[in-house]
Structure 1
Amino acid sequence: MYKYREIYSDIKRDILTNHYRAGTLLPTQEYFAEKYDVSRITLKKALNLLENDGLVFSKQGSGTYIRPQIDNSDSELLPLDLPVGVTYSHRDQKISSQTLSFDARLPLADEQQNLNITASDPVYEFKRVRSINDQIYSLEHVIMPTQVAPLNEEILQGSVYDYLGHVAKLQLTDARRIIYADQANAEISAALKIDEGFPILVIEQIAYDQKGTAFEFSKSYFISNKSKFSLDIHLNRK
């Protein structure tokens, strides 16, 4: 990955996790150039990507500021344009997990294709119900190569992305999402405590790390009348 992409991903993560807070000045270009040992030109490319994402904006003679995100009182609002998990999108809420199944096995054909692995590369498979403030929020079905990092049921009780960041130094920097409507089958209805056939929203995701390697293929199922999602569009005007 190009250096400016790594810097972009690093600063973006710090913005999304509130290390750099909305409405405040981003550290100076001199600070980042020294921190990452890069030229101002390389750093400018990273800042341009952040500005295109709508995460920062510049004021001439003043500096670069963290752009405040749209304030939504609805705690169930998930930003579809940012590849972050429930822990980040609902930072101020109580989040809990119930693991329904956890195992390791060899990958199926579609999992090999989506994760760019071979038939002999083992994967973890786990399903868990995520709750926010003790209210069921989603059902996650995740496939992850075992080579990424060792997992166990204790880890699945918390944020898997936080764990991967600490243990494997892995950052979720990009994701491909496919979103569609469906109806709950018997397994999904039991997990989400809804009637079989009830409308649900499904998000399929392939998650990529800072090196561009796919490390997760997942499907998340949401109750149609209890979850809302947002997508902010930012035009790159010259």
Structure 2
Amino acid sequence: MAYKYKEVADGIRADIKSGKYVPGELMPDQNQIAKNYNTTRITVHKALQLLIVEGMVYSKRGSGTYVRKDYISDDKNGKSGEVSPIDKPLGATLTNQGKKVTSKVLELSARIPTKRESEQLIIPATEPVYVIRRVRYVNDVIFAYEHTIMPTSITTLTKKVLEGSIYGHLLKDNLSIEGSHRRVSADAASQEDIETGIAEKVGEPVLVINQLSYLADGQPFEISESRFPYKTSSITADITL
């Protein structure tokens, strides 16, 4: 028998896919949803968190829960939404425990976000964001090139933090990471990929992961693109039915 929160999530998911709730629309508040499903607000909160991780909805503090503006239903593209989580958002350091993980910091700066960045991160257009570029190494072998955008209000970052684990730093700040919406694709290597050591020549395959990551309260805290050498990269997904 399915848990109640999964039953609620299934119902809301069906409503979104059927078009009852359209992209960008504010959904009923949690108390109303709890009443509709004859359950508790805590159960509804857990159901919505599941849908946040799936990339269907997002939560905005003080406003409510919205259907993601970039969500496309199965009926429109034949896919189960635009993005889906792959494994857990642990980052390179925690994923490669027991190995030597280091970083070469290429950039740590701050600027005003673009319109799309402010919409994705659900922050005011005037709130600064960090721009982070670094190359990650595992046992002294190039693992990935990361380009990350993060609100400066989330935490204080330094070059020393970037040389280690950003996610580990967030955990020390008592910030709990809930999940990520990830898009995995292949790309042809660019000149920048050669300069960062991800590829040996222009045009060879590169594994790319774009993701938007969320804290436990549903607040987006990171937009990132990671590029991986095709010869040494693979993805593992644990599927539970």
TM-score tier, shorter chain, comes to 0.5 to 0.7
- Percent sequence identity over aligned pairs: 37
Q: 2:17 corresponds to which residue?
A: none
The within-5 A match list for 1:127-206 is 127-167=133-173, 169-194=174-199, 195-206=201-212
| Pick aligned residue for 1:232 from 222, 229, 238 | 238
Q: 2:91 corresponds to which residue?
A: 85
Question: Matched residues in 1 for 2:120 and 2:202: separation?
Answer: 29
Q: Secondary structure at the match of 1:178?
A: strand
User: Do structure 1's residue 107 and structure 2's residue 113 form an aligned pair?
Assistant: yes
Q: 2:217 corresponds to which residue?
A: 211
Question: Matched residues in 2 for 1:118 and 1:188: separation?
Answer: 32
Alignment RMSD, CA only? 2.2
Deviations 1:63-119 (A, max 9, x none): xxxxxxxxxxxxxxxx93212111111001100100111100000122112111222
Corresponding letter in the other structure for 1:102: L
Question: Matched residues in 2 for 1:188 and 1:113: separation?
Answer: 28
Q: Secondary structure at the match of 1:110?
A: helix
Q: TM-score, normalised by structure 2?
A: 0.63
Corresponding letter in the other structure for 2:206: I
4+ runs deviating over 4 angstroms: none
How many correspondences in the alignment?
162
Contact 2:198-2:228 at 8 Å conserved across structures: no
Corresponding letter in the other structure for 1:189: I
Gaps of at least 5 residues in structure 2 are 6-41, 50-84
Q: Secondary structure at the match of 1:87?
A: helix
User: Do structure 1's residue 220 and structure 2's residue 214 form an aligned pair?
Assistant: no
